[in-house]
C-alpha cells in the first residue's frame, strides 16, 4: 500500500528528490491503495480501497466530489467475461433491448424482448423440469409456468380431425321470467324452471353453433316454457314441455342465422321403465 501526500516535485537536493519521486511512483504503482482515500484527490484519480475484502477499485468522478466504483480486485474485477459469466443479481435490459440466441454460425438469431408497454412488473417463473411430448406451457395467473396437455387436432383439407374426445361443459342458466342465454358462455346449457317462463332470444349468436338446453321442472312441476321470436320449430309448432315434477326435456338447437335458431325437442328424457 502506498499513497503520496503531494504529486508536485519541488526543487530540492538529489536525495530528497529521489525519496519524494519514489513515494509518488509507489503510489502510482499501487493505485493509491489504502484503507481510506488519499488526501490529494483530483478528478479521474484511481484509488484501490483496501478497507474491503477483496479490495475495491474506484475512480474519482469528473466533478471531484465522489468516487465511481469499478469493481473488486478479484477475477475480472467483477466484470463480465466475453466467454461467459455467472450473475448473482438481476439483469435489466432497457428500452425493449433483446436477449438474442444465435445459430451455429452466428449468422441469424432468435430474440426475446418485452412488449412496447408494460403496465406493471411481471415475473414468469419457469417450471423445474421438462414436460412430456406435445405439452405446452401454461400460467397459473400468478406468473408460475408449468406444462399441461391440450387437445391436439390435425388439419385436413375439409376441416379438423380430432384424435381425442371433445367434451363441452354445461352452463347453468339463471331462472327468471325471461331466461337469458349468452352463447358466448358455452354450447350447452341447463335451467330449472321455478315458474312459467320465456326462453329469451340469445345473445352473441354465431351462425353454425349447435348444442342443447336441458330444461328441468322444479319439485312442483306444471311449469310452462314459451319462446322468444328468434326460435324456429319443425312445422312451426313449439313443443309443450313435460310438466311432471322434476321432469327433464332436452331442447337441441342449431343456429341458422342471428335470428333463426332451430329447436328440436326431446321430451320426458328418463331411464327406461
pLDDT tens track for 229-239: 999 999 999 99
pLDDT of the residue at 272: 93
| Percentage of the chain modeled with pLDDT above 70 | 95
Question: What average pLDDT does the structure give for the chain?
Answer: 90
Of 8-17, 100-109, 117-126, give the lowest mean pLDDT range.
8-17
pLDDT of the residue at 251: 98
Q: What is the 3-state secondary structure (H, E, C) of 89-125?
A: CCCCCCCCCCEEEECCCCCCEEEECCCCCCCCCCCCE
Q: Residue-wise over 163-183: b if at least 16 C-beta within 10 A, else e?
A: eeeeeeeebebeeeeebebeb
pLDDT of the residue at 224: 97
pLDDT band at 155 (very low <50, low <70, confident <90, very high): low
pLDDT of the residue at 75: 67
* 151 has pLDDT over 70: no
What number is the average pLDDT over the span 195-200? 98
55 contacts 30 by C-beta, under 8 angstroms? no
Of 127-136, 154-163, 216-225, give the lowest mean pLDDT range.
154-163
pLDDT of the residue at 17: 86
- How far is residue 59's CA from residue 3's CA, in Å, rounded to a whole number? 15
* 198 has pLDDT over 80: yes
For each of the domains in the chain, give its residue range(s) and CATH number, in order of start.
14-75 (no CATH), 126-166 (no CATH), 170-266 (2.60.120)
Compute the chain's Rg from CA coordinates.
Answer: 40
What number is the average pLDDT over the span 116-121? 92
SS3 call for 150:
coil
* 76 has pLDDT over 80: no
- How far is residue 95's CA from residue 129's CA, in Å, rounded to a whole number? 31
* 163 has pLDDT over 90: no
Report the candidate in 1, 5, 119, 114 with the shortest Cα–Cα distance to residue 51: 1
pLDDT of the residue at 10: 82
What number is the average pLDDT over the span 33-38? 90
* 225 has pLDDT over 80: yes
pLDDT band at 154 (very low <50, low <70, confident <90, very high): low
User: Between 38 and 158, whose confidence is greater?
Assistant: 38
pLDDT of the residue at 19: 86
- How far is residue 107's CA from residue 192's CA, in Å, rounded to a whole number? 65
What number is the average pLDDT over the span 119-123? 91
* 242 has pLDDT over 90: yes
**99 phi, psi to nearest 5 deg:** -100, 120
pLDDT of the residue at 232: 97
| Percentage of the chain modeled with pLDDT above 90 | 65
User: Between 215 and 165, whose confidence is greater?
Assistant: 215
- How far is residue 86's CA from residue 80's CA, in Å, rounded to a whole number? 8
Amino acid at each position: 500500500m502506498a499513497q503520496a501526500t503531494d504529486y508536485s516535485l519541488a526543487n530540492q537536493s538529489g536525495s530528497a528528490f529521489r525519496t519524494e519521486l519514489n513515494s509518488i511512483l509507489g503510489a502510482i504503482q499501487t493505485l493509491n491503495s489504502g484503507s481510506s482515500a488519499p488526501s490529494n484527490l483530483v478528478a479521474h484519480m484511481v484509488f484501490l480501497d483496501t478497507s474491503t475484502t477483496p479490495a475495491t477499485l474506484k475512480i474519482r468522478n469528473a466533478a471531484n466530489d465522489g468516487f465511481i466504483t469499478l469493481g473488486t480486485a478479484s477475477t475480472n474485477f467483477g466484470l463480465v467475461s466475453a466467454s461467459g459469466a455467472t450473475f448473482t443479481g438481476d439483469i435489466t435490459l432497457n428500452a425493449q433491448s433483446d436477449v438474442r440466441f444465435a445459430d451455429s454460425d452466428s449468422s441469424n438469431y432468435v430474440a426475446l424482448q418485452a412488449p412496447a408497454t408494460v403496465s406493471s412488473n411481471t415475473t414468469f417463473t419457469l417450471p423445474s423440469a421438462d414436460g412430456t411430448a406435445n405439452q405446452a406451457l401454461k400460467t397459473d395467473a400468478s406468473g408460475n409456468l408449468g406444462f399441461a396437455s391440450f387437445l391436439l387436432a390435425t388439419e385436413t383439407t375439409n376441416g379438423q380431425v380430432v384424435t381425442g374426445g371433445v367434451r363441452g361443459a354445461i352452463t347453468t342458466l339463471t331462472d327468471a321470467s325471461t331466461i337469458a342465454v349468452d352463447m358466448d358462455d358455452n354450447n350447452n346449457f341447463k335451467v330449472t324452471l321455478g315458474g312459467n317462463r320465456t326462453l329469451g332470444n340469445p345473445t352473441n349468436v354465431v351462425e353454425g353453433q349447435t348444442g342443447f338446453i336441458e330444461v328441468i321442472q322444479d319439485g312442483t312441476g306444471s311449469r310452462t316454457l314459451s319462446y322468444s321470436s328468434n326460435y324456429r320449430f319443425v312445422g312451426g309448432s313449439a313443443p309443450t314441455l313435460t310438466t311432471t315434477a322434476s321432469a327433464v326435456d332436452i331442447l337441441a338447437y342449431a343456429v341458422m342465422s342471428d335470428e333463426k335458431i332451430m329447436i328440436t325437442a326431446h321430451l320426458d328424457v328418463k331411464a327406461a321403465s
